[in-house]
């Protein structure tokens, strides 16, 4: 197998273009290497991004928060800047796997892997993130909600590299929270997860954003539940209505990790926990 180690985005994009879909990108390898070893995937060429320093780090650019695709979960969890501007994403990064997985696994790999239980994706949905893809043909930005089409299925093209995630800098008066329920506290994929973002003006909920993981073929925005809460006082009644609306947003299934009925009840419980924190 051929193994390439480009030192820039331009080199990586050239390597992808020349191999016309026969090369795979290797970021932290925590998903891809496991799948290659298990024979679930094959690759003639691997393009390792470890030397592309321009793909690392969190920065602000003209009111946008920009996160390089090779930024690891550990870097996100430890970033004081991210904790201040987008705590929902830092909290989610802290929930990934174990220390070892967090030190190798990257935000780009988490997004391209397109697991419905990927921890960073619900926060990216509520933050309104854009996935920035680059190829020889140029830059192609895609909204995070358009990116994944099913488990391990995305709209990325074989010749494209995910270079960064971007989202508008959130307001400072927001509440943002990420909740995850798994088999245990560490080294467990989410059975259900929920990212919540809103603010309260004189007690009334505004700009409510909710996204749920592991309850549909892709991470989903819970727009019915958002509508049920928007402009309301977060009373027990309003929260009950939002939890009922959530059942129309999600499509949980029975699988090895859990049952559809439990997932629905657990997802509503996470929402019930999130809203009162705002009051």
Ligand X SMILES: Cc1cc2nc3c(=O)[nH]c(=O)nc-3n(C[C@H](O)[C@H](O)[C@H](O)COP(=O)(O)OP(=O)(O)OC[C@H]3O[C@@H](n4cnc5c(N)ncnc54)[C@H](O)[C@@H]3O)c2cc1C
Which residues contact ligand X (rule: CB under 6 A)?
Answer: 24-32, 34, 69, 96-97, 101, 104-106, 108-110, 112-113, 118-119, 161-162, 187, 189
Q: Secondary structure of the chain: what % helix, strand, coil (to 5)? A: 35, 30, 35
Q: Minimum distance from CB of 111 to ligand X (Å)?
A: 8
| Pair 266, 191: CB distance under 8 Å | yes
Name the 3-class secondary structure at 1: coil
Q: Minimum distance from CB of 41 to ligand X (Å)?
A: 8
If we measure between CA atoms, which residue out of 206, 247, 253 comes closest to residue 224? 247
Q: How far apart are CA 114 and CA 177, in angstroms?
A: 21
C-beta of 133 vs 274, nearer to ligand X:
133
Instruction: Classify residue 155 by burial, with Cβ atoms within 10 Å: 0-12, 13-18, 19+.
Output: middle
Q: How crowded is the C-beta side of 238, counted as CA atoms within 13 Å? A: 15
| Pair 52, 26: CB distance under 8 Å | no
C-beta of 34 vs 53, nearer to ligand X:
34
C-beta of 85 vs 162, nearer to ligand X:
162
Q: Minimum distance from CB of 113 to ligand X (Å)?
A: 4
C-beta of 101 vs 278, nearer to ligand X:
101
Q: Minimum distance from CB of 164 to ligand X (Å)?
A: 9
| Pair 270, 262: CB distance under 8 Å | no
Q: Minimum distance from CB of 225 to ligand X (Å)?
A: 22
If we measure between CA atoms, which residue out of 240, 277, 247 comes closest to residue 265? 247
Q: Minimum distance from CB of 269 to ligand X (Å)?
A: 20
C-beta of 30 vs 79, nearer to ligand X:
30
| Pair 134, 13: CB distance under 8 Å | yes
Residue with CB nearest ligand X? Answer: 109
| Pair 86, 65: CB distance under 8 Å | yes
Q: Minimum distance from CB of 24 to ligand X (Å)?
A: 5
C-beta of 145 vs 230, nearer to ligand X:
145
C-beta of 31 vs 249, nearer to ligand X:
31
């Amino acid at each position: 197998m051929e193994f390439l180690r480009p030192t820039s985005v331009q080199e990586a994009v050239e390597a992808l273009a020349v191999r016309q879909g026969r090369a795979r990108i290797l970021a932290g390898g925590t998903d891809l290497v496991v799948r290659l070893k298990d024979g679930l995937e094959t690759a003639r060429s691997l393009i390792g991004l470890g030397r592309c320093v321009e793909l690392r780090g969190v920065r602000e650019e003209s009111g946008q928060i920009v996160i390089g695709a090779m930024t690891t979960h550990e870097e996100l969890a430890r970033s004081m800047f991210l904790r201040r501007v987008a705590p929902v994403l830092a909290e989610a990064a802290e929930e990934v796997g174990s220390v070892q997985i967090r030190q190798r696994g990257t935000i780009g790999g988490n997004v391209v892997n397109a697991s419905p239980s990927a921890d960073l994706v619900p926060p990216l949905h509520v933050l309104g993130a854009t996935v920035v893809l680059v190829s020889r043909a140029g830059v192609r930005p895609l909204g995070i909600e358009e990116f994944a089409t099913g488990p391990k299925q995305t709209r990325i093209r074989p010749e494209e590299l995910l270079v960064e995630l971007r989202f508008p800098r959130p307001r400072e008066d927001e509440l943002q929270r990420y909740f995850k329920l798994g088999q245990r506290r560490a080294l467990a994929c989410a059975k259900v997860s929920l990212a919540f973002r809103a603010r309260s003006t004189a007690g009334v909920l505004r700009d409510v954003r909710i996204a749920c993981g592991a309850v549909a073929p892709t991470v989903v925005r819970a727009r019915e539940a958002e509508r049920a809460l928007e402009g309301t006082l977060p009373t027990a009644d309003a929260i009950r209505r939002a939890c009922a609306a959530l059942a129309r947003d999600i499509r949980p299934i029975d699988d090895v990790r859990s049952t559809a009925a439990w997932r629905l009840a657990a997802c509503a419980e996470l929402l019930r926990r999130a809203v009162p924190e705002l009051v």
